[in-house]
Structures are given as C-alpha cells and as structure tokens.
Structure 1
Amino acid sequence: MTSLDSTPQAVPDLPDATGTPAKQIPPAAVARLTLYLRALNTLLADGVERVSSESLAEASGVSSSTLRKDLSHVGSYGTRGVGYEVQYLSRHIAAALGLTHDWKVAIVGAGNLGKALARYGGFESRGFDVVAIFDADQMVVGNEVGWLRVSDVADLETVLHRTGANMVVLALPAAVAQGVCDRVVAAGVHSVLSFAPVMLQVPEGVNLRKVDMATELQILAYHAQRAQAPGQTA
C-alpha cells in the first residue's frame, strides 16, 4: 500500500465497539460525515494509508476547519503534521454512523422508482441489505425485481417480521403513503425514508427522512434563474 506518511502504523481498535458516540452529533455534521466516509473509502481503494485534513476536506467539498470540527464530534482529531490514518478514521466514522450494524431494508412501492432502488448495487457495500419489496397491484405482485420477488402489501407486517427489516423506504403516491407508514411503524420499524410527495406524521421516537426531488428541482430552478438574470449571482 502507498502512504502519505513514510512510517505505516497499525490500525487501533475502536474505543467503543457499539459505535455509539458519546454525545449527540448535529444533523448537519452527520450529513457531512457521510461525505468524509465516501472520500476515505475511495482513498482506501487507492491504497492510501494517511491523509491530511486539507486533502480530505477538499475531496469532501468542505473547509478544513469544518472537517476538523465535525470529526471532533466522533472523538477523532488526527495528528498535526501527520494527518489521519485512513483505515482507522473510516472505521471510526462508520461506527459513529451506525454502519457497523446489519441494516435490512424493505421497499414499499414497486413502480419505476422502487424497482430502481431495489436493483441498485451500491447499498450492500455500505451495509444495507434490501430484503423485500412490496406493491398493491396484483399485476405486479409475484414479479421478480433483481433478486427479489414482489410481495403483496397486504402481507406487509408478516414479511417485515419474517425478513427482520429494520428500515423501510416508501416509494408511494401521496394518497396512500400515510396509511402505509402507520402500518410500518405499528409493525415495529422506526426508521423510514419517504419519497412520497406529502408530509407524513410519525410518533415520537420514529426517525423519518423525506426526499422530495420536485422540491430540490424547484430550488435548483431558483438558483439557475438568479444566475441567468443580469447583475445577479447564484
């Protein structure tokens, strides 16, 4: 392996085997930690053993000061003049993000989006195993999507329990999303990612993330319009 440091060192064990950070990490920092982890994994694939904060920050699209502050939340500071051990820092961030656990994902909705998500090969390498996909359309139920067979959403609770799914992705129309979300939560799944174009209500203790691509495009349109207007900058 190549290194930015001439003296390779052993990668120490993580201080906390559970990967649970000692304090709450701000949501914005959590989002950036995923960027650092992606950059670190690329460095690992290239055989790099050490990286400076400046290089890692540049690869992640943030400032060095932001990177150092974010990494302080997971108790990893690096060494002045030496930088960070890539493998150790990668493992440390992965543990803090909960990526050392087994996450089993079920997708509800076998339309174009749901099928694309089910076929995506990048989840497994990041610790996410897609174990089920559901739909209400009887013309779709039973069809194969990648290595999965589409289950009837009527059997949602049974299949969630059988597969041990602990995360659910909702790729559903707005009209039915809340009802399905309620069933998912009642079945004991407390981590939900929704692509439905509607604001869902969940009980306290349930982690809900929403992805609204139309909203993101509208934000892009705003900035594009400003960039095109005379005398305006994006």
Structure 2
Amino acid sequence: MQESSSISKATVDRLPRYYRCLCLLSDEGIEIASSEELGRRIAVNPEQIRKDLAFFGQFGKKGVGYYVAELQESIGAILGLDRHWNIAVVGMGHLGVALANYQGIARLGFRIAALFDVNPVVIGTRLGERRVEDIAYLSEIVAERGVQIGVIAVPAPQAQDVADRLIAAGIRGIWNFAPVKLQVPETVPFVSEDLSVGLSSLSYFLTHSACEDDELSEKNNRE
C-alpha cells in the first residue's frame, strides 16, 4: 500500500462509494463482481476503479472479478470503519435529531455516544438510548465516553464556539453541518456539509435547463 500522502483526495472520496456499492451487492447475495459491474452501478470508469484499488494492494482475480465480501472488508479497514468510532452530536434541532436517528451511521460502525444541547427544555430528554446532555459538561463526557468525532448541527453563529469546545475536549475529527467556514487546527480533519450549496447548485442546473427548454420551444414555434 502506498503512503497516504501520495493518494489523492479524489481517490479517497471514491472509496466510500465503492464500499456502499459492495454493501448493496452483499445484501443482494452477489458474491463476485467485476469492476465493470461496480462502475455501472456507481457511474465510475472501471479503469478508474482498478487504478484506485491498486493504491492499496492487489484485489480480485483476473478474469473472475472481485470477491464482494473480501473487498468490502478490505475497503472498510482502509476507511477505518472497523475501528468503531464514537460520535457526539451537538445541537438537537431537526437536523441533529435526524442525524442521531440515522441508522446508516451504525451500519458503518459509528456509534452515537453522546448528544448535547444548550436548551434547558431539550436537556434531559431522551433520544433512543441516549439522554441529551448539557453542553456545559461536554469536555467531561467526551473524555468519559471516548468520543473521537464531533458532529456540529447548530446555527452558524454558534458553530465556531462549538468547534472550539470540541477541539479543547480532545475530539479528533469534526463533521460540520453549519453553513460557516470553521477555523480548526491542521491536525484536526473536518468535513463540512453545506446543504444550501447543494440546493443552490441544483437550482442552477434546473434553471438553466428550463431556459434551454424555453429557447428550444420558442425556436420550434417560430419555425
């Protein structure tokens, strides 16, 4: 396997898509799949799939394909999904609750270990097996429960303060859903999910597609 520093972010970003596809194949009872089959399902060039996997070792058998369960396990290990990371979700609004209830998180090996909020009405309520804790006790609970990943699901004005609290508590990674750019140390990897950006991009493509349709309709009417 090559050093991680020599592997592009694009390759790393494709690995979860391969893993998810393999999970679905496994659920369907499919034991062997070719790179062509994987590529067809996730719209990635088969040659790119083979190139990406080659960074991490030799997988599959020429003329046969990949053994689904074996490759799923290998990619899961590469992604660190076999380590069972503990997660804390901060912000029990609609988004935070949805994330805490999302069953896909558990399937990937992540465990919701703590829930936090500042609202006295919310603190003390239960969500599944977990009680919503006061964010004032974040540091102690993170240490006590061995939490490694913090999920930020609070309004933008509070996001940086929450990030600072998480980092001070020893969180190793952050998943941010607040629509704001966070300032975090280079040693703390973080991923931001800005829902407004995705919706705005979709709106752009829909708008311009509609404009092209209107122009084509006008042209046909003139003819």
Fold conserved (TM > 0.5)?
yes
Counterpart of 1:125 in structure 2 is: 107
Residue correspondences, number: 213
Letter in 1 for 2:141: V
Counterpart of 1:186 in structure 2 is: 168
Counterpart of 2:48 (choices 66, 72, 76) is: 66
1:106-164 CA distance string (max 9 Å, x none): 00001111111111122111100001110001111001112211000111101111111
Post-superposition offset of 1:27: 1.5
| Aligned-residue identity in percent | 40
**How far apart in 1 are the matches of 2:197 and 2:29?**
39
Counterpart of 2:187 in structure 1 is: 205
Counterpart of 1:29 (choices 11, 14, 19) is: 11
Counterpart of 1:223 in structure 2 is: 205
Letter in 2 for 1:148: R
Counterpart of 1:170 in structure 2 is: 152
State the SS of the aligned residue for 1:123.
Answer: helix
Post-superposition offset of 1:79: 2.4
**How far apart in 2 are the matches of 1:224 and 1:75?**
41
Post-superposition offset of 1:77: 4.1
Letter in 1 for 2:107: S
Counterpart of 1:4 in structure 2 is: none
Counterpart of 1:9 in structure 2 is: none
Q: Which runs of 4+ in 1 moved over 3 A?
A: none
**How far apart in 1 are the matches of 2:140 and 2:57?**
41
1:3-26 CA distance string (max 9 Å, x none): xxxxxxxxxxxxxxxxxx532232
Unaligned runs of 5+ in 2: 216-223
Contact 1:76 1:89 in 2 (8 A): no
Letter in 1 for 2:128: G
1:161 lines up with 2:137 in the alignment: no
TM-score scaled by length of structure 1:
0.87
Post-superposition offset of 1:209: 0.6
Counterpart of 2:39 in structure 1 is: 57
Question: Which structure dedicates a bigger proportion of its chain to helix?
Answer: 2
Post-superposition offset of 1:219: 0.8
State the SS of the aligned residue for 2:81.
Answer: coil
State the SS of the aligned residue for 1:105.
Answer: strand
Summarize the alignment of residues 1-20 of structure 1 with structure 2, pairs less than 5 Å apart: none
Contact 1:36 1:56 in 2 (8 A): yes
Residues 230/45 of structure 1: CA separation in 2 closer, same or farther (3 Å cut): closer
**How far apart in 2 are the matches of 1:133 and 1:94?**
26
TM-score scaled by length of structure 2:
0.91
Letter in 2 for 1:193: W
Summarize the alignment of residues 63-102 of structure 1 with structure 2, pairs less than 5 Å apart: 63-102=45-84
**How far apart in 2 are the matches of 1:131 and 1:194?**
17
Contact 1:74 1:92 in 2 (8 A): no
